Structure 1
């Protein structure tokens, strides 16, 4: 029984100029028909458009090979499933696609290159996502260099039993430069990955009631992002639970290190993040519980404003976050999209007063902030989180507003059973704001040192 299919046996040239789409797809189809195996790319640069993976087939890109996205958009057919953001409904094209497949993988120590420079920028439908898996089971993406996607690098939708290991992801040429995105998935294992991008490096979301997001393990990864390192939520129609994050590093993240947002009526519960080291991260921890609609980030299919959901049982411990003089600067995404500055900093936890966060623990955190902000230079009134189903002020506290912090290090509001244990804060330069504020919280323990 044949289980290795070399694409060169199907006429693929791998010369960097010839389009090898037909040859690679024929090798995949024959591998599938034979019961499965490995489709191997070796010894060259293979130019192609959309590849459709099938059950029991592993696409193997050897160290000597590069799979390069064809710059001709006509080589990317429709029907590869758009993503679920209201404001990004046109992102349908895809480089590597699988639907309703089982036991599949994209592996090897070679490179997959999305050829981002050859495609239009933000707002165009002609930006193929690098990989999209819809309703698939038993997926492995391992060992590869995933570079220069024109949109997200990966999207795993309504899938289960996923392993992403030993990946070098570099997606810094275009907007929407996400790394690993999981929506409505269960049993996810991410380990030893290095991710650099222009948007969130790793996302866990639940945009459909039918598919909660649960049982996620993230360990030994490194994150660099113009936006967030790890984002849990925003799209949270359903529930997100049972998430562990351990032994990760974050460097030059211009918005949030760990960002947890329950905004669409579902719940986010049972989250543990431990053993994190951050260097130059504007907001090391950001947590918010609210509701929002008709703004950036809302899920397709969410037609009415939901009741505020639940956020419970979250622990972040053993975190070291350190700034250097780089954080005196204002940081942008490309030319004019401000991501962060010294006045937009710190640990922030917020919720609507009628829907408090419950059982939050922040333990053994050492935070060295660059400082240098004067209290008189920021607005005096800090808005509250409101239930958006009812009348509210024009300015409310939410996921992207306010764009300043009223404290130097930490601002926590509306938490029941809050534990603050062994928090140590230090400003490198004099900062005249309050060092921290704890407002309308039921405190289990408070041990904070400012030095």
Structure 2
């Protein structure tokens, strides 16, 4: 092993009450000055505020150690803010931060705890994000238990060569409970991670044309989310491409399993997902191509309504999605934020008439839906996706609306070269809506069986 710097030798106590911020930072600085190595936390609970990582330094949290966020917000200085959502200005602070660094890591088999119960729940700058990496290269986050962040667990921004492996992420105490978030990154490898959260478990986004999101590998992971399991897009000013998802499980996901949405003028292309098992996922597949500009979820650099972008070459295959009695219920985020219910559920693919999705394949999928919805209990008129640069109705089909489905299993509109092969649908209870609707699509192949 390279040079080892034990934080206790730099004054850290690890007794769970002493503030060890300065001692940990002193060890990191010494490690950096010596040319790099490992800064080790072992045998205790180390309470700290913001830690600034530096090149060639690995922070190692051993199994016997906990790195615990200091509840005193005064221990989190400014200068770590780089959030790109216009409506989320409240996550300025950061627990572990790196900027323009290379060859860095947060590793070990110990625990990093964001101490979420000691911070506000939402709408406050006094909620430090657990980790943020800006313009960094060669990053390893491996083997850790990442628990109780006050906001997002991680944010990787404009960075490259990233490995996130063997992580146990639990972020179920506060709003904005994301797991792994990547924006404008390339060469990303995610494997053997278990993620539980109150928001999207894993996000791939591109909020700038200068930094495309590409070359992403996601394998052998498990997702449980009040929102989406894997979300690709929304923030899509730039391009997202070359994403491979394989051998993942999804359980109790109250909105979408695989969610792909190009909404800010860029492109999302060349996506493959295969070998997925889903249990109690409200919408196993959600794909949307549109344009939008409002205060909810728009990129900070987007000032004008963009032309609708491009979505093409997406293949989803070998998927089993199964509901049980749990999906008869309406599911909430905390107390009053409805996330899903039987009338909301199902596969949805949608686009504007004049900007279709191209080359979409859904192959070898078995979907068992709880059913039980009556057609007369949902609105008769289903809104369309409109080009929002021009005149449009007050209610249009978009990222969070409508909140109901007009079909039992699958609704697909405006796709050129659509291939549906080996799809098997079954409802546990009688459902009087149409089983599926395929509208304004150029069908390459259709093979759908609906079981009674």
* TM-score (structure 1 length as normaliser): 1.00
Alignment deviations for residues 328-380 of structure 1 (CA, whole Å, 9 cap, x no partner): 00000000000000000100000000000000000000000000000000000
The match for 1:394 is 394
Q: 1:72-221 to 2 correspondence within 5 Å? A: 72-221=72-221
Structure 2: distance between partners of 1:324 and 1:2: 51
Q: 1:312 matched to which residue of 2?
A: 312
How many angstroms apart in 2 are the aligned matches of 1:7 and 1:116? 24
Q: Secondary structure at the match of 1:24?
A: helix
8 Å CA contact 2:14–2:45 kept in 1: the answer is yes
Inter-partner Cα distance in structure 1 for 2:98 and 2:123: 24
8 Å contact from structure 1 (residues 82, 93) kept in 2: no
Root-mean-square deviation (Å): 0.7
Q: CA deviation at 1:91?
A: 1.3
1:2 positional shift: 7.0
Looking at structure 2, the residues matched to 2 and 177 of structure 1 have their Cα atoms a distance apart, in angstroms, of: 35
Separation in structure 2 between the aligned mates of residue 295 and residue 383 of structure 1, nearest angstrom: 21
SS of residue in 1 equivalent to 2:22:
helix
Tell whether the 8 Å contact from 1:289 to 1:351 is kept in structure 2 after alignment: yes
1:448 to 2:410 alignment:
no
SS in 1 for 2:338: strand
TM-score normalised by length of structure 2: 0.99
**Structure 2 contact 2–38 (Cα < 8 Å) conserved:** no
1:290-329 alignment, distance < 5 Å: 290-329=290-329
- Alpha-carbon separation, structure 2, partners of 1:423 and 1:30: 59
How many residues matched?
451
Alignment partner of 1:26: what SS?
helix
The corresponding residue for 1:420 is 420
Runs of 4+ in 1 over 4 A off after TM superposition: none
Deviations 1:223-270 (A, max 9, x none): 000000000000000000000000000000000000000000000000
| Residues 258, 286 of structure 1: 8 Å contact kept | yes
Q: Which residue number corresponds to residue 225 of structure 1?
A: 225
How far apart are the structure 2 equivalents of 1:3 and 1:405? 59
Any idea what SS the aligned residue of 1:9 has? Answer: helix
2:429 corresponds in structure 1 to 429
Structure 1 position 89, deviation (Å) = 2.0
Gaps of 5+ in 2: none
- The CA distance in 2 between the partners of 1:61 and 1:30, in whole Å, is 17
* Deviation readout 1:73-121 (Å, 9 max, x if unpaired): 0000000023100000231100000000000000000000000000011
CA contact (8 A) 2:411 2:436 kept: yes
- Cα-to-partner distance string for 1:175-232 (whole Å, 9 max, x where unaligned): 0000000000000000000000000000000001110000000000000000000000
Residue in structure 1 matched with residue 251 of structure 2 by the alignment: 251
- After TM superposition, give the deviation of residue 311 of structure 1 in Å: 0.2
Q: Which residue of 1 aligns with 2:368?
A: 368
What is the match of residue 70 of structure 1? 70
Contact 1:223 1:249 in 2 (8 A): yes
CA–CA separation in structure 2 for the residues paired with 1:373 and 1:11: 63
Describe the SS at the equivalent of 1:307.
coil
* Corresponding residue of 2:381: 381
CA distance in 2, matches of 1:325, 1:353: 37
Supply the distance in 2 between the matched residues of 1:30 and 1:115 (Cα, whole angstroms). 27
Give the whole-Å Cα distance in 1 for the aligned partners of 2:121 and 2:208: 28
Of the structure 1 ranges 84-93 and 103-112, higher mean CA displacement relative to structure 2 is found in 84-93
The DSSP-based 3-state class of the residue aligned with 1:440 is: strand
**Separation in 1 of the partners of 2:230 and 2:125?**
26
Partner residue of 1:238? Answer: 238
Contact 1:256/1:282 (8 A) holds in 2: yes
Give the whole-Å Cα distance in 2 for the aligned partners of 1:379 and 1:225: 28
User: What is residue 57 of structure 1 aligned with on the other side?
Assistant: 57
Q: Equivalents in 1 of 2:283, 2:122: separation in Å? A: 26
**1:294 Cα deviation from its structure 2 partner:** 1.2
Q: Is the 8 A contact 1:82 1:89 kept in 2?
A: no
Q: What's the counterpart of residue 26 of structure 2?
A: 26
Q: Secondary structure of 1:353's match?
A: coil
Does the CA contact (< 8 Å) of 2:183 and 2:204 recur in 1? Answer: yes
- The Cα shift of 1:295 comes to 3.5
- 2:347 corresponding residue in structure 1: 347
SS of equivalent residue, structure 1 residue 30: helix
Q: Is the 8 A contact 1:2 1:34 kept in 2?
A: no
In structure 2, C-alpha distance between the alignment counterparts of 1:227 and 1:294, rounded to whole Å:
20
Counterpart-to-counterpart distance in 2, 1:213 and 1:198:
24
